[in-house]
Amino acid sequence: MSISFFWSRAFLTNRFMLWLLFWCNLVGTIYGYKWYGDQIEYTIAHNLIWQVIFVPDSPTASLFFTISVLFLLYPPKTPALTGFSYLMESLAVVTSVKYGIWAVSIIFAGAAQGDHLVWQDWMLVASHLIMAVEALLFVRFFRFGAFMLIPAAAWTFFNDIVDYTFGVYPWLPDELQDHLLGVEYFTIGLTAFSVLLAWLFLRLAKRKTI
């Protein structure tokens, strides 16, 4: 058996694998929202209530992917649900790539500035790398087109604006507090990169080269 079988359509889209992905991502999403619990409570107490939706970035990205996998298991039957599934897929790819790379980068940037990494950090590195990889692997199985990258990009850029305008960005290691402006620029640039990468993988998928 060739190693390429493990990223083939036959392997990745069989119902057992899709259900496994669905439950793993759902559990990860729930855990992620619990992880952000303290910051969510702080935001509710000190910020406008509508801003709280922009606090748990990675769990929301994972939620988009979880919903997208569910639509692979149960394809939508109506135009409204089909449009909604396209939106979820585009958001899943852009945000999973963006926050997957972002979290890993911030963890290692903090370590480079003197932060001591613990086992939870390595768990976060592994889980967020998986987020990015699975999103790019599944681009070819999703049905959204390049047009749907526009609302996905708009949402993600707006998330960045809210995060750094109102201070609801994910809490950073203490060692990075003096580099907040650099983190902001990196975050916005990473959004653009993630949208571009999603578009590129869509083009490659149409040519059946991935």
Tell whether 2 is covered by a domain. no
Six-digit token string for 47: 């910020």
The pLDDT of residue 1 is 62
Residues 93-107 have a mean pLDDT of 98
Tell whether 5 is covered by a domain. no
Tell whether 178 is covered by a domain. yes
Tell whether 6 is covered by a domain. no
* Domain span holding position 119: 15-206
Q: What does pLDDT average to over the chain? A: 94
Tell whether 45 is covered by a domain. yes
Decide if 156 contacts 98 (C-beta within 8 A): yes
Decide if pLDDT at 210 tops 70: no
Decide if pLDDT at 189 tops 60: yes
**How far is 73 from 158, CA to CA, in rounded Å?**
30
Residues 165-190 have a mean pLDDT of 96
Quick one: pLDDT band at residue 10, thresholds 50, 70, 90? confident
Quick one: pLDDT band at residue 9, thresholds 50, 70, 90? confident
| Cα separations in angstroms, 177 against 32, 38, 88, 118, 129 | 22, 18, 33, 19, 24
**How far is 11 from 6, CA to CA, in rounded Å?**
6
Query: What is the domain count for the chain?
Result: 1
pLDDT tens, position by position, 164-174: 999 999 999 99
Tell whether 48 is covered by a domain. yes
Decide if 157 contacts 195 (C-beta within 8 A): no
Tell whether 7 is covered by a domain. no
Which range among 4-8, 43-47, 70-74, 153-157 shows the weakest confidence by mean pLDDT? 4-8
Decide if pLDDT at 119 tops 60: yes
Neighbours of 42 (CB within 10 A): 15
Residues 171-181 have a mean pLDDT of 94
Six-digit token string for 154: 């708009």
HSE (side-chain half, CA atoms, 13 Å) at 29: 16
Tell whether 139 is covered by a domain. yes
